[in-house]
Structures are given as structure tokens and as C-alpha cells.
């Protein structure tokens, strides 16, 4: 009885895994195929560090407690009509996820974008009062692994190879005081949620992400990295 | 570009729209203009026509709607920054294009305070804030050119 029960459990587990991989294939066909940047990354042989955080390799799977069907349904919902994450993620998961952001948030951008979309403004973020951020601790880990290499940041955070060099360098922005920034799990309705967005609070490369309100520029710490 | 569809390509119309690959990219535009320019730079290595196509494309945008003019100014900002950093692999008549942009910025000043709707559905609000910022952060320091004609 126990043996057949275990076998049934194993079969169910296998079927679930097969379902997830079918979804991955479908998503790859939808978003990956035909995208030269994706093909470039898929063919590259990144370093061990970069491999751990390579973009668009679906490391988010298993990090957020969502079934393949839930992910499919949320992605199929038009942007603007997607449900609030509290509708499909339990409170404990949301609390635990957002805890990572309490000690500070970070994001990185190309130097040109920094000049164009930060220097020139009083607040950082988009017109719908949103700004995608990662926990500062995660950015610290990437910085440590990168040791000055722009390519590692590109791999880790889903930027195209050569992105930061093409922008004249990388700018890291840290915000330590986040208490009133309403840090939340992205719903996918945000102006900055692009075709790569996935539900559950992780980028497709497995980096934890959240959304904050517009960030006052007076509150940011800026670090510039020119690269090797 | 080889099909003569430079303007739809620059504007990100329909299938030409380029999506930033990272959530943290920070660009707030109807298409990922960095990817577009990189494609033009790549094309310029293959054909001498790419340089002229980009220049003509920007000129055509400057003759278009307020949204087109905003986008042309965005491209000119990016190109000016690249030139300033010795990263621009093309020879473009930037001064001439910026002068034309200054005229059009004056023409569409009121529209830039409202909403600009692009053919691919992207909506840009308060474009004037961006243009003012680019003027102060890029055009005035690097080119000595006031694209807003001293706020007139």
C-alpha cells in the first residue's frame, strides 16, 4: 500500500515537473525565440558566478510558490488587469520576501540612462509611482562577485552583453532609508514591467525584486563603476 | 532599415518595438532606444547607408507629431552623450539635427506638458520634464546649445 502510494506520489511529482518544463518551453518560444539577445546569452559560456545568476534561465522557478497554471494565467492577463500579488501569494511568503528589502534597496543602470533619467529629475522611478529595486544585500553580493567586471553585472541582472560599456559605465544606486517607500511585490501592472516580467517577486534570472514608490533623489547613494 | 522602414524602427512601431531585457534598465520610452542604436551601429559596419538612414530617420521624426519630436530629442540626447564620451561610431550632423530639434521643441511646447501617445500604445506623460532635464544635463554642458531657447 505504502509502495503504491509512494509510486503515485512520485508519478504526480514527475507530472508536475513535466508540466513546469512544458511551460518553460512555451515561455521560451513566446519570449525567448527570435530575440537575438536571448540567443546570444543561451550560447555563451558564462563564468561560474555568472552562471549562478544568469538572466532568463528561469531560476525563479521554485522560488515563488506558484504552479505552472497560475504563472500562465497571470502572464496571460493583460497588463493593467493583473491581480494584486496578495491574491495568489500567501501573507507569510510576502512578508518573508519583503523582509529582504528592509535594510536597503539598490538598482543599477547605464551611465547614460543615469544622466538622462536620474540627474535630470527630482525623483527616481516612473510616472505610475513605481521603481523596480533589488535588496541591497543582493547587489552587494553581485558587486563582490563582479570585482569590477561589468559583464558580471550584465549577466546577473539581465542586461545585454556590452550594455554598460555602451552606456559609458555603470551606476549603482543605493537607498538605505526605505521605511516610507511602500516596498511591494510587483503585480506586473507597473509601467516598468516588461515582457520578461514574472509573478512572484523574482526576475527570470532569479534575482529578488520589488517595487518602491518614487525615490527622492536626496536619499540616494550613487556609486559609479567604469569597468575594466 | 534596409526595407526603408527607419521611422517605424526608431519609433518601435508594432513588431519593431524593443523591450529592455532587464527590469532595472530605467529607460522610460516607447522603445529601448539603446537597443535600436546598437542595431544601427551594427548595421553601419555592414553598409554605409545606415549612417544616412539614421540621420534621415531623425529628420523625419522631427517633421512628425509631438511624440515623434520627443523621441527624436531622446535619440539626440543619447547620441550627444555617446559623442561626448567618444563612443559614437557614426558621423552624424548632430549640430544641424539639434538646431532643427530646437525649432520643433518650441513648436510643440504645450503638447510636451500633456500626454503623448505613440503608435505602439506607449503613453508618455510630462515629456517636458525630460526635455528640460536633458537640456540642463546634456545639451547645455556638452554642446552649449539651449534646446528650449532660454525658456521661451
Res B35: pLDDT:
92
Taking 80 as the threshold, does the pLDDT of residue A22 lie above it? no
- DSSP per-residue codes, A142-190: HHHHHTT-HHHHHHHHTPPTTHHHHTTSEEEEEE---TTS--B---S-S
Taking CB atoms and an 8 Å limit, are A134 and B78 in contact across chains?
A: no
Q: Where are the domains of chain B?
A: 6-151
The mean-pLDDT minimum among A36-45, A100-109, A133-142, B117-126 falls in: A36-45
Q: What are phi and psi of B130, to 5 degrees?
A: -65, -50
C-alpha atoms less than 13 angstroms from C-alpha of A173 in its C-beta half-sphere? 27
What is the average pLDDT across A138-152?
Answer: 94
The CATH fold assigned to B6-151 is 1.25.40
Tens of pLDDT along B70-83? 999 999 999 999 99
Mean pLDDT in chain A?
78
Q: If we measure between CA atoms, which residue out of B143, B73, B140, B146 comes closest to residue B104?
A: B73
Q: What are phi and psi of A133, to 5 degrees?
A: -135, 160
Taking 70 as the threshold, does the pLDDT of residue A21 lie above it? no
Taking CB atoms and an 8 Å limit, are A118 and B26 in contact across chains?
A: yes
User: Between these two residues, A18 and A143, which has the higher pLDDT value?
Assistant: A143
Res B39: pLDDT:
94
Show the CA angle centred on residue A68, arms to residues A154 and A45, nearest 5°. 30
Asked if residues B11 and B30 have their Cβ atoms less than 8 Å apart, the reply is: yes
Residues of chain B with pLDDT under 50: 150-152
- Which helix H or strand E contains A215, and what residues bound it? strand A215-216
Residue of B nearest to A165 (CA): B87
Res A228: pLDDT:
57
Asked if residues A204 and A42 have their Cβ atoms less than 8 Å apart, the reply is: no
Quote the cell numbers at residue B76: 539626440
Q: If we measure between CA atoms, which residue out of A101, A224, A115 comes closest to residue A173?
A: A224
Taking 90 as the threshold, does the pLDDT of residue A17 lie above it? no
User: Between these two residues, A203 and B152, which has the higher pLDDT value?
Assistant: A203
Q: If we measure between CA atoms, which residue out of B130, B144, B116 comes closest to residue B11?
A: B116
What is the average pLDDT across A205-212?
Answer: 92
Q: How confident is the model at residue A160 (pLDDT cuts 50, 70, 90)?
A: confident
Distance CA A115, CA A119 (A): 5
CB contact, 8 Å: A147 with chain B? Answer: no
Instruction: Choose the closest CB to B24 out of A112, A116, A157.
Output: A157
Residue of A nearest to B86 (CA): A168
The residues that bridge with B124 in the sheet, in sequence order, are B116
Tens of pLDDT along A55-103? 444 555 567 889 889 999 999 999 999 999 999 999 999 999 999 999 9
Quote the cell numbers at residue A209: 525584486
Distance CA A29, CA A20 (A): 14
Q: How far is B150 from chain A (nearest CA, A)?
A: 17
Res B5: pLDDT:
87
The residues that bridge with A170 in the sheet, in sequence order, are A110, A225
CB atoms within 10 A of CB B137: 19
C-alpha atoms less than 13 angstroms from C-alpha of B113 in its C-beta half-sphere? 4
Res A6: pLDDT:
52
Res B74: pLDDT:
97
Amino acid at each position: 500500500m505504502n509502495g503504491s502510494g509512494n509510486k503515485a506520489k512520485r508519478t504526480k511529482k514527475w507530472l508536475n515537473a513535466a508540466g513546469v518544463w512544458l511551460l518553460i518551453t512555451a515561455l521560451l518560444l513566446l519570449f525567448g525565440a527570435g530575440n537575438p539577445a536571448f540567443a546570444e546569452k543561451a550560447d555563451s559560456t558564462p563564468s561560474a558566478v555568472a552562471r549562478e545568476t544568469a538572466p532568463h534561465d528561469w531560476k525563479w522557478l521554485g522560488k515563488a510558490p506558484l504552479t505552472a497554471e497560475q504563472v500562465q494565467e497571470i502572464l496571460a492577463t493583460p497588463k493593467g488587469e493583473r491581480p494584486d500579488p496578495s491574491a495568489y501569494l500567501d501573507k507569510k511568503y510576502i512578508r518573508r520576501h519583503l523582509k529582504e528589502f528592509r535594510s536597503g534597496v539598490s538598482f543599477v543602470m547605464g551611465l547614460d540612462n543615469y544622466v538622462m533619467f536620474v540627474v535630470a529629475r527630482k525623483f527616481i522611478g516612473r510616472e505610475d509611482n513605481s521603481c523596480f529595486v533589488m535588496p541591497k544585500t543582493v547587489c552587494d553580493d553581485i558587486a563582490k562577485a563582479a570585482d569590477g567586471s561589468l559583464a558580471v553585472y550584465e549577466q546577473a541582472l539581465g542586461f545585454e552583453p556590452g550594455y554598460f560599456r555602451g552606456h559609458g559605465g555603470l551606476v549603482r544606486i543605493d537607498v538605505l532609508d526605505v521605511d516610507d517607500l511602500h516596498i511591494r511585490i510587483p503585480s506586473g501592472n507597473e509601467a516598468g514591467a516588461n515582457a520578461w516580467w514574472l509573478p512572484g517577486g523574482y526576475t527570470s534570472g532569479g534575482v529578488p525584486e520589488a517595487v518602491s514608490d518614487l525615490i527622492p533623489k536626496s536619499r540616494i547613494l550613487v556609486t559609479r563603476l567604469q569597468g575594466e | 532599415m534596409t526595407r526603408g522602414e527607419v521611422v517605424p524602427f526608431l519609433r518601435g512601431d508594432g513588431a519593431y518595438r524593443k523591450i529592455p531585457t532587464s527590469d532595472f534598465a530605467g529607460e522610460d520610452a516607447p522603445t529601448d532606444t539603446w537597443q535600436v542604436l546598437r542595431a544601427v551601429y551594427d548595421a553601419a559596419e555592414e553598409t554605409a547607408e545606415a549612417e544616412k538612414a539614421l540621420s534621415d530617420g531623425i529628420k523625419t521624426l522631427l517633421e512628425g507629431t509631438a511624440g515623434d519630436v520627443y523621441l527624436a530629442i531622446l535619440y539626440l540626447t543619447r547620441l550627444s552623450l555617446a559623442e561626448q564620451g567618444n563612443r559614437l561610431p557614426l558621423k552624424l550632423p548632430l549640430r544641424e539635427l539639434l538646431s532643427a530639434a530646437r525649432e520643433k521643441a518650441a513648436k510643440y511646447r504645450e503638447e510636451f506638458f500633456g500626454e503623448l501617445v505613440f503608435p505602439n500604445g506607449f503613453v508618455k506623460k510630462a515629456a517636458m520634464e525630460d526635455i528640460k532635464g536633458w537640456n540642463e544635463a546634456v545639451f547645455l554642458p556638452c554642446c552649449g546649445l539651449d534646446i528650449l531657447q532660454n525658456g521661451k
